């Protein structure tokens, strides 16, 4: 792997811990120069501390790589531009943006505050848009000046976003939005030499360990290590993935799959009277697949739509 990304410049948001840390270290091991962004707040988004990002940058430089720290808030539009400018000014360009920063404020919808909603949507959804926007402006400018791009945006969705999970309407809505953002951004940026893909990861991190039951064995931790997520991200940055774009990859340990997204299922012709729709609706619901469970598989259960009317 060493040298595959020689000369590339990457930004990793939320790069101080967990999956982001593995992204940053893996990119550097492959030869990329890395801007390690991390505000350094807690899992709920409070506080700030550059120490985690600095530790990752130190690890990279200590191994002979190149890295700098950025402590900007990804959801701050101006700070996101400064992040992109820092990459270009420090390393002479920008080739890769991995949008990984995130927080959790899990609540049932009836217990969720407005701030719980706004904070999670802001960090995840705007925090994906803002760095991507400024990077896209940079790459579009290069293209219009006659330069060639071979660039990557890799976003981070979640099984909660593409399949759904109780207690995470804010997080799931943001992550579903990121999946759709990925598909549309891929269409918009293709002509500028930019691919846009998305990961829906399941891994052990400070945000997920409690959700996985805590007290995990070393074997369980290795099976769900964040490094498996970074493995896919780094492949997406390489030459073999130059024509892969607009995809959402479900990554769980060593297992990687493609999440196929929304497709139109069975259809019927409506009558003009809404109360005469029962037969048509019964027919299409009886033929339609169930919504997926958190494993991405067909499943029925509480809160999932019945096939019966």
Report residue 229: phi and psi, to 5°. -70, -45
SS3 category, 112: coil
158 has catalytic annotation: yes
Question: Which residue from 2, 181, 163 is spatially nearest to 99, judged by alpha carbons?
Answer: 181
Token pair listed for 278: 């029962």
With H, G, I as helix, E, B as strand and everything else as coil, classify residue 38: coil
Answer yes or no: are the C-beta atoms of 131 and 99 closer than 8 Å: yes
Structure tokens given for 255: 């297992």
Determine whether 205 is an active site residue. no
In whole angstroms, what is the distance from residue 16 CA to residue 51 CA? 8
Reference 285, options 303, 267, 299, 270; nearest CA is 267
Q: How many CA atoms lie within 13 A of 224 on its CB side?
A: 15
Task: Please identify which of the residues 126, 175, 205, 225 carries the catalytic annotation.
Answer: 175
Exactly one of 81, 132, 160, 171 is catalytic; which is it?
Answer: 171
Catalytic residue among 158, 160, 205, 225: 158
Q: Kindly report the CA angle at 252 between 163 and 99, in degrees rounded to 5?
A: 75
In angstroms, what CA-CA distances link 168 with 17, 122, 267?
22, 15, 30
Q: Which two tokens stand for residue 198?
A: 């998305």
Per the listing, tokens 């999970």 go with 165
Other C-beta atoms lying within 10 Å of the C-beta of residue 25:
23
| CA nearest to 161, candidates 198, 126, 191, 195 | 198
Evaluate whether 74 touches 99 at the Cβ level (below 8 Å). Answer: yes
Q: Which residue numbers are catalytic?
A: 158, 171, 175
């Amino acid at each position: 792997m060493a040298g595959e990304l020689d000369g590339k410049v990457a930004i990793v948001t939320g790069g101080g811990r967990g999956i982001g840390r593995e992204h940053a270290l893996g990119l550097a091991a492959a030869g990329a120069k890395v801007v390690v962004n991390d505000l350094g707040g807690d899992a709920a988004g409070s506080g700030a501390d550059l120490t985690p990002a600095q530790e990752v940058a130190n690890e990279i430089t200590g191994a002979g790589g190149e890295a700098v720290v950025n402590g900007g808030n990804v959801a701050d539009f101006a700070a996101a531009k400064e992040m992109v400018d820092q990459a270009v000014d420090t390393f002479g360009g920008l080739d890769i943006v991995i949008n990984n920063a995130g927080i959790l404020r899990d609540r049932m919808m009836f217990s969720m505050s407005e701030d719980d909603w706004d904070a999670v949507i802001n960090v995840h959804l705007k925090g994906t848009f803002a760095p991507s926007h400024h990077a896209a402006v940079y790459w579009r400018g290069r293209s219009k000046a006659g330069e060639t791009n071979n660039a990557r945006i890799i976003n981070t969705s979640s099984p909660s976003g593409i399949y759904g999970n109780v207690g995470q309407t804010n997080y799931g809505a943001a992550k579903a939005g990121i999946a759709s953002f990925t598909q549309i951004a891929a269409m918009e940026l293709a002509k500028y030499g930019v691919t846009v893909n998305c990961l829906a990861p399941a891994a052990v991190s400070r945000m997920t360990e409690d959700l996985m039951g805590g007290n995990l064995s070393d074997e369980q931790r290795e099976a769900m290590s964040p490094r498996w997520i970074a493995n896919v991200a780094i492949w997406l940055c390489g030459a073999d993935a130059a024509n892969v774009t607009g995809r959402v990859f479900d990554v769980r340990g060593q297992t990687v799959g493609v999440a196929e997204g929304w497709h139109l299922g069975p259809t019927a012709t409506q009558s003009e009277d809404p109360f005469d729709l029962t037969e048509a609706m019964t027919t299409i619901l009886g033929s339609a697949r169930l919504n997926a469970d958190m494993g991405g598989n067909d499943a029925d259960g509480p809160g999932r739509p019945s096939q019966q009317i």
